Amino acid sequence: MTPTEIASGLIANISTPDLKLSDFKLIAFDMDSTLINIECVDEIADAAGRKAEVAAITEAAMRGEITDYKDSLRRRVALLKGVSVESMEGVYHERLKLNPGAAELVHACKEAGMKVLLVSGGFTFFTDRVQRELGIDYTRSNVLEVEDGLLTGRLVDQPWGDICDGEEKKKMLLETCAMLGITSAQAIAMGDGANDLPMMGVAGLSVAYHAKPAVRAQAMVAINEGGLNRLLEVLA
């Protein structure tokens, strides 16, 4: 169908008249530039004097111009070698903010009886804190290796695999649905970058938030202005 502007900056690529929050049992969020205002890897790189170099790789990966997300993340993490945990604390306390409407949307979903999943190509250092702050039920993200208080430039393998990329985000969404005894049609997936498209593709409702053009084009709903809680304008 032809995209419809429901309200200023809120676009629907599907017909939405009967959608309700109560139709869904799970909402899955990307973190960087979706739930929060920054790309954490870029801000950590700033402490190493390599922000421009790392941010260029991040931008290309989010646009889908780099198809191997795992390789792009390994390249970026290697450039973080020597950054201190103290510097990462500074990123969290001084630069990381929840995006507008994030807390309101999570609260509304939990009030409706939904579970909340955070799946990120970023790092547990930040996802664990955002999980606690918002009361998120489940997370999956990557672990930065630390030795003597400094990043080694490597990631730590986890029981489920090595890196949370787009395919791992989709897998985690499907596994969470199975664990909850629901279908993926009862899940909402929200993101902004190309690595969010796999999970958005299997969800019952896909939402692009201030997203890259390719993601906006493929999402069922695109929030191009305002906060995350604008999704509540679509779901009665």
Q: Is the pLDDT of residue 1 over 60?
A: no
46 is catalytic: no
The arithmetic mean of pLDDT across residues 200-209, rounded, is 97
pLDDT (tens digit per residue) in 123-178: 999 999 999 999 999 999 999 999 999 999 999 999 999 999 999 999 999 999 99
Average pLDDT, the chain: 95
What dihedral do alpha carbons 92, 97, 102, 104 form, nearest 10°? 110
Instruction: List the catalytic residue out of 30, 42, 165, 192.
Output: 30
From 9-18, 28-37, 65-74, the region with the lowest mean pLDDT: 9-18
Confidence at 13, pLDDT banded by 50, 70, 90 = confident
Q: Is the pLDDT of residue 74 over 80?
A: yes
pLDDT (tens digit per residue) in 93-108: 999 999 999 999 999 9
Q: Is the pLDDT of residue 16 over 70?
A: no
DSSP state of 99: P
Q: Is the pLDDT of residue 15 over 80?
A: no
The arithmetic mean of pLDDT across residues 38-53, rounded, is 95
In 10 A of CB 227, how many CB atoms?
18
CATH class of residue range 4-38+98-233: alpha beta
Distances (CA, A) of 180 to 3, 21, 114, 176, 218: 33, 17, 10, 6, 27
Instruction: 128-131: list long-range contacts, CB under 8 Å, 24+ apart.
Output: 129/92, 130/31, 130/35, 130/36, 130/98
From 10-14, 117-121, 183-187, the region with the lowest mean pLDDT: 10-14
Return the domain boundaries, the chain.
Answer: 4-38+98-233
Instruction: 60-68: list long-range contacts, CB under 8 Å, 24+ apart.
Output: 61/193, 61/194, 61/195, 62/33, 62/192, 62/193, 62/194, 62/195, 62/212, 63/193, 63/194, 63/212, 63/213, 63/214, 64/193, 64/194, 64/197, 64/212, 64/214
Instruction: List the catalytic residue out of 23, 32, 71, 148.
Output: 32
32 is catalytic: yes
Instruction: From 234, 228, 230, select the one nearest 99 (Cα to Cα).
Output: 228
Given this model, what pLDDT does residue 18 score?
Answer: 76
Q: Is the pLDDT of residue 67 over 90?
A: no
DSSP state of 231: G
Taking the C-alpha atoms of residue 229 and residue 69, their distance in angstroms, rounded to an integer, is 29
